[in-house]
């Protein structure tokens, strides 16, 4: 049984949350990405519920969570503050932080700067900031794969993505195997969430300097070159597992090269038959990986 509630945090942000599980069991926090929402974790949480206490928030800007209007409000420090406050609100440090896509961007930062908030980290197809910066600066293949990010930063992106029943959003799933799992019920759930507004999710991209150079806007390349990532601020300080669907067309396998430089306690599992959407394609594989990390606790 999935429970829903609104978590009102001390700094004025409210996060719409989904929860499942057993009281006094190991605590698992699950963070989603774009263009998803917390409900993407429902099947995983239900499978874990007999032996874990799971919480999946909608990140700021998504679903019924607070959606500040200013792009500045989606800088990493504000997003991290939300998760730090939610962890405190929900009972303190978690046994395992699980994160995908944009949720992973937050989780990498937390593992480096607030490691006391978690015992272990599980990243699912979300690039480490240092390898992402490296590849965006120098790798034409990753630059091309990430070009969609600049489209999502356009001022008219909301209107373009919404028109014709979200015709430009469905391919985010369908081009990487979505036709095998994106059934009518899931489509209806995505329509419902997307109809609540896309601006918050798009502001994650607008607020970040980590996107590929744009031929039409030299400021994007200038912002990318100006990024400084001191090793102390990007080195994971907790045991970290990475589960990576190798059929990810947006985040290429080169992002895993040299990862152990910034993740000293790393266990990397590659899944050749999965894409960026491995949580939907192989939920049982994701559940298995979560259980393995909890057992290693």
282, pLDDT greater than 80 = yes
Return the structure tokens found at 251.
């985040």
- The catalytic site residues sit at 101, 205, 276
Using a pLDDT cut of 90, give the percent of the chain over it. 95
Peptide bond into 23 cis (omega under 30): no
Q: Are 141 and 206 in contact (CB under 8 A)?
A: no
Q: Cα dihedral angle (90, 96, 101, 102), rounded to 10 degrees?
A: 40
- In this prediction, residues 26-34 reach a mean pLDDT of 98
Predicted confidence at residue 177, as pLDDT, reads: 66
Q: What is the pLDDT of residues 58-75, one digit of tens each?
A: 999 999 999 999 999 999
- In this prediction, residues 247-265 reach a mean pLDDT of 97
Q: Cα dihedral angle (206, 212, 215, 217), rounded to 10 degrees?
A: 30
Q: Rounded to a whole number, what is the distance in angstroms from the first to the last CA of the chain?
A: 25
Q: What is the pLDDT of residues 101-143, one digit of tens each?
A: 999 999 999 999 999 999 999 999 999 999 999 999 999 999 9
Q: Which helix (H) or strand (E) holds 3?
A: strand 3-8
CATH number at residue 108: 3.40.50.1820
Count how many domains the chain has.
1
Q: Which domain holds residue 26?
A: 3-296
Q: Cα dihedral angle (169, 172, 173, 176), rounded to 10 degrees?
A: 160
pLDDT band per the 50, 70, 90 thresholds, residue 175: confident
Alpha-helix residue ranges (DSSP H) falling in the chain: 42-48, 76-89, 102-113, 129-138, 140-145, 148-152, 157-166, 170-174, 184-194, 199-207, 218-226, 231-234, 278-281, 283-296
């Amino acid at each position: 049984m999935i429970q829903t509630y609104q978590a009102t945090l001390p700094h004025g942000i409210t996060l719409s949350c989904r929860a499942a599980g057993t009281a006094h069991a190991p605590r698992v926090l699950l963070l989603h990405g774009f263009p998803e929402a917390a409900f993407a974790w429902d099947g995983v949480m239900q499978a874990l519920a007999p032996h874990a206490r799971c919480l999946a928030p909608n990140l700021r800007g998504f679903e019924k969570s607070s959606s500040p209007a200013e792009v500045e409000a989606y800088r990493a420090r504000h997003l991290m503050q939300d998760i730090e406050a939610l962890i405190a609100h929900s009972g303190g440090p978690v046994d395992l932080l699980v994160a995908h896509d944009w949720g992973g961007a937050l989780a990498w930062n937390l593992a480096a700067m607030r490691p006391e908030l978690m015992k272990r980290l599980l990243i699912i197809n979300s690039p480490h900031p240092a390898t992402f910066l490296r590849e965006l600066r120098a790798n034409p293949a990753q630059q091309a794969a990430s070009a969609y990010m600049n489209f999502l930063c356009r001022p008219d992106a909301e209107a373009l993505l919404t028109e014709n029943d979200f015709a430009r959003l469905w391919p985010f799933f369908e081009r990487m195997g979505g036709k095998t799992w994106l059934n009518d019920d899931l489509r209806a759930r995505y329509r419902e969430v997307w109809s609540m507004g896309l601006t918050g999710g798009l502001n994650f991209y607008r607020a970040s300097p980590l996107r590929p150079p744009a031929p039409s806007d030299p400021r994007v390349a200038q912002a990318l070159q100006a990024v400084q990532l001191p090793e102390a601020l990007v080195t994971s300080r907790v045991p970290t597992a990475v589960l990576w669907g190798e059929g990810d067309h947006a985040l290429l396998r080169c992002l895993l090269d040299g990862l152990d430089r910034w993740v000293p306690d790393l266990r990397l599992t590659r899944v050749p038959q999965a894409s960026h959407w491995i949580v939907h394609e192989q939920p049982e594989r994701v559940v298995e990986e979560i259980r393995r990390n909890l057992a290693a606790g």
